[in-house]
Amino acid sequence: MFKNRRKIQIEWGDCDPAGIVFYPQYFKWFDACAAALFAAAGFPRPDLVETQSIVIPIVDTRCRFLIPSRFDDELTVETAIARFGRSSFDVHHRILKGADLAVECWETRIWTRIDPTGPERLKSQPIPDAVIRALSQGGQ
Amino acid sequence: MFKNRRKIQIEWGDCDPAGIVFYPQYFKWFDACAAALFAAAGFPRPDLVETQSIVIPIVDTRCRFLIPSRFDDELTVETAIARFGRSSFDVHHRILKGADLAVECWETRIWTRIDPTGPERLKSQPIPDAVIRALSQGGQ
Amino acid sequence: MFKNRRKIQIEWGDCDPAGIVFYPQYFKWFDACAAALFAAAGFPRPDLVETQSIVIPIVDTRCRFLIPSRFDDELTVETAIARFGRSSFDVHHRILKGADLAVECWETRIWTRIDPTGPERLKSQPIPDAVIRALSQGGQ
Amino acid sequence: MFKNRRKIQIEWGDCDPAGIVFYPQYFKWFDACAAALFAAAGFPRPDLVETQSIVIPIVDTRCRFLIPSRFDDELTVETAIARFGRSSFDVHHRILKGADLAVECWETRIWTRIDPTGPERLKSQPIPDAVIRALSQGGQ
């Protein structure tokens, strides 16, 4: 699978009074890393949203926190697709602290069109073949 | 002037490794308190946005931090309009910790219509008289 | 099991460009609701941290997002302990939008002492019987 | 004056339902940029906090928002010290969008020691000469 990597530097404001990353912050990074994965494969989020009204809301996530991180730590996030369904797909994130796995997360997201006139305003769509192809091939 | 009050309870995640509120968090509360002021005067933000495409972006803010707060502290925010111009207005927030002034903030915001076809997508508008009247009268 | 309820009002700044809650925000509420559960049972977080150096870091979480929420929505979070182990415990959060389940989350947390001299600075501890008793009894 | 530059890429989750950066987010970046300035001059925040118990809380800030930014915009923040007092100092941040000034911010911060036994737990200190020298010389 196509994989993308991102560096994260932990800032003071990412941490709580115990001096470690306040865990909701990890999900902000995961969301940005999911977008970065699509961008690296040729599908930047702004294009998806603005030209096709496509967003990728999350419906399920599981996350294991193995090693706490402190401010000024530098982490690496590795992100790849773990599974493609018809309109749903799974994203897998691994946060590495040096060589050690610090946090691991799985997400299920839906390929969704913003539909301003619909009752729910969001409507799932089949994932385009071009997206599946680009993100299924080895690379990076 | 019409004044609105809100209680804030400081959560663990609002605080930084020094154990005090991480200051960008105060601006989140101020934004919510500005919206709450309009709602209390009869102009809830969802109505403004959804039926009139009106938003109130900030163009200038000044904030003094007098007393730090810690988690589980309970604060009160007092919010009122300090000035109405044609399309701009000033909001004044005072955060009280017991009887003491802990944080004080002034903001200038603009009465703005979202204009999807315009070059900037946002266009300033005269503030409606009904809004000025409702927020200028004494109350609460 | 002892259950605690909290109201949440969705603010403008909790939402993303699709107009729905940006999902990391839910975890901020869950963290505050976990603390509120302990506080309601007689164990406020500030006492735990300041007098006993006890924190309750998360090690695992799973969350299902069933119904998106928009700003000005009012939600109710119901929080209870789902399991007590020796030093780990599971927290269960259900976010209700009216009568409908909107978001559901399970967390595993560890009863942990801050140990400034230790290599990891955090050390798991047996959960006190008084805590287990208070949070296992029906109530509220 | 010594100046430091940082790139910021706007993420989806930094933006609000109007599609522009939710302004409290700018203050998170300013705080990280103030720390980055000190780090670039040889005084990384972790060293200040952990070996000397020094933090630099903000006491006053003013910010002008000139041009809104949208997700996927790339901004540059230029940060420098504008004034050194005995224990207070002013930081000046300019956010550039291409060649245009998008946001401008001034902060007053205090060189402060964490004092766990004191009534306020925080105590202002004279700024060390070495810090003033390093941050006053031209560079970068």
The total number of residues written for chain B in this structure: 140
Confidence category of residue C6, pLDDT binned at 50, 70, 90: very high
Contact between chains at D45 and A12 (C-beta distance less than 8 A) = yes
A54's CB contacts (< 8 A; 6+ apart) are A48, A111, A112, A113, A114, A125
Q: What is the pLDDT of residue A117?
A: 75
Q: How confident is the model at residue A118 (pLDDT cuts 50, 70, 90)?
A: low
Residue listed under structure tokens 């299924």: A136
pLDDT (0 to 100) of residue B113: 92
- Crossing angle of the two packed helices A24-40 and A45-52, in degrees rounded to 10: 80
With a cut of 50, say whether residue A71 has pLDDT above it.
yes
How far is Cα A76 from Cα A7, in angstroms, rounded to an integer? 5
C16 is catalytic: yes
| pLDDT per position as a tens digit, A16-66 | 988 899 999 999 999 999 999 999 999 998 889 888 899 999 999 999 999
B16 has a chain A CB within 8 A of its CB: yes
Please tell me if residue D27 touches chain B, with a CB cutoff of 8 Å.
Answer: yes
Chain B residues whose beta carbon lies within 8 Å of the beta carbon of residue D28 = 24
CB contact under 8 A, C122 and A68: yes
Q: Which of D45, D70, D71 sits opposite A71 (nearest CB)?
A: D45
Is pLDDT of C140 > 60?
no
Q: Give me the mean pLDDT over the B25-50 stretch.
A: 94
Structure tokens at D16: 């609000």
> How far are the Cα atoms of B37, D25, D98 from residue D42, in angstroms, in the given order?
45, 26, 29
End-to-end Cα distance, chain A: 10
Distance CA D118, CA A103 (A): 37
Rounded-to-integer distance, Cα A29 and Cα A9, Å: 11
Given a cut of 70, is residue B139 above it in pLDDT? no
Kindly report which listed range (A116-120, B16-20, B76-80, D104-108) carries the lowest average pLDDT score: A116-120
Q: Do D17 and C22 touch (CB under 8 A)?
A: no
Kindly give, in sequence order, each residue whose CB lies less than 8 Å from that of residue C140, ignoring residues fewer than 6 positions away. Answer: C2, C3, C4, C5, C40
- 3 state SS of C58: strand
Per-residue pLDDT at C4: 97
* Dist. CA B59–CA D62, nearest whole Å: 11
Q: Is the dihedral of CA D61, D66, D67, D73 positive or negative?
A: negative
Active-site amino acid positions of D: 16
Distance CA(A44)–CA(A131), nearest Å, equals: 11
What ipTM was reported for this prediction?
0.93
Q: How confident is the model at residue D119 (pLDDT cuts 50, 70, 90)?
A: low
pLDDT, one tens digit per residue, over C47-98 is 898 888 999 999 999 999 999 999 889 999 999 999 999 999 999 999 999 9
C-alpha dist (Å) from residue A1 to A37, A82, C3, D101: 11, 8, 44, 41
Mean pLDDT throughout C15-21?
A: 91
Spell out where C66-99 has E strands: 74-84, 88-97
d(CA D103, CA A31): 25
Residues 6+ apart with CB under 8 A from A133: none
Q: Is the pLDDT reported for residue A5 higher than 80? A: yes
Residue B76 predicted with pLDDT over 90:
yes
Alpha carbon distance B33, B134 (integer Å): 17
pLDDT at A28: 98
* Statement: residue B46 has pLDDT above 70: yes
Q: Give the residue with greater pLDDT, A11 vs C1.
A: A11
Please name the helix (run of DSSP H) or strand (run of DSSP E) that holds residue B129, with its range, or none.
helix B129-136
If we measure between CA atoms, which residue out of D122, B28, B18 comes closest to residue A12? B18
**Dihedral pair phi/psi, residue C73, rounded to 5°:** -65, 145
Give the per-residue pLDDT at B140.
44
D22 touches chain C (CB under 8 A): yes
Q: pLDDT-based confidence at A119, cuts 50/70/90?
A: low
Tokens of D89: 């100092």
* pLDDT of the residue at D140: 44
CB D132 within 8 A of CB D84: yes
- Residue B77 phi, psi (nearest 5): -110, 125
Distance, in angstroms, between A100 CA and closest chain C CA? 15
Structure tokens at C93: 């959060």
pLDDT range class, residue D138, cuts 50, 70, 90: low
Chains that touch B (3 or more CB pairs under 8 A): A, C, D
User: pLDDT tens-digit profile of D50-70?
Assistant: 888 999 999 999 999 999 999
Residue C22 pLDDT grade (very low, low, confident, very high; cuts 50, 70, 90): very high
Residue A24, min C-alpha distance to chain B (Å): 9
Which 3 state secondary structure label does DSSP give C111? coil
Tell whether the model's pLDDT for residue B69 goes beyond 50.
yes
Which letter, b or e, does each residue of A61-98 get, where b requires 16 or more Cβ atoms within 10 Å of its Cβ?
Answer: bebbbebbbbbbbebebbbbbeebeeebbbbbbbbbbe
Residue type, C127: I
Q: What is the pLDDT of residue C118?
A: 66
Dist. CA C97–CA C75, nearest whole Å: 5
**Helix boundaries (H) for A1-140:** 24-40, 45-52, 129-136
Residue identified by tokens 């490794």 is B17
From first CA to last CA, the distance across chain C in angstroms is 10
Give the pLDDT of residue A140.
Answer: 45
What's the mean pLDDT in A85-107? Answer: 98
Whether pLDDT at D46 is above 60: yes
Mind telling me how many Å the CA of C18 is from chain D's nearest CA? 6
Average pLDDT over residues C30-53: 93
Per-residue model confidence (pLDDT) at position B119: 62
Q: Does residue A9 carry a pLDDT above 90?
A: yes
Residues B96-131 pLDDT 10s = 999 999 999 999 999 999 887 766 678 899 999 999
Pairing of the two strands A112-114 and A54-55: antiparallel
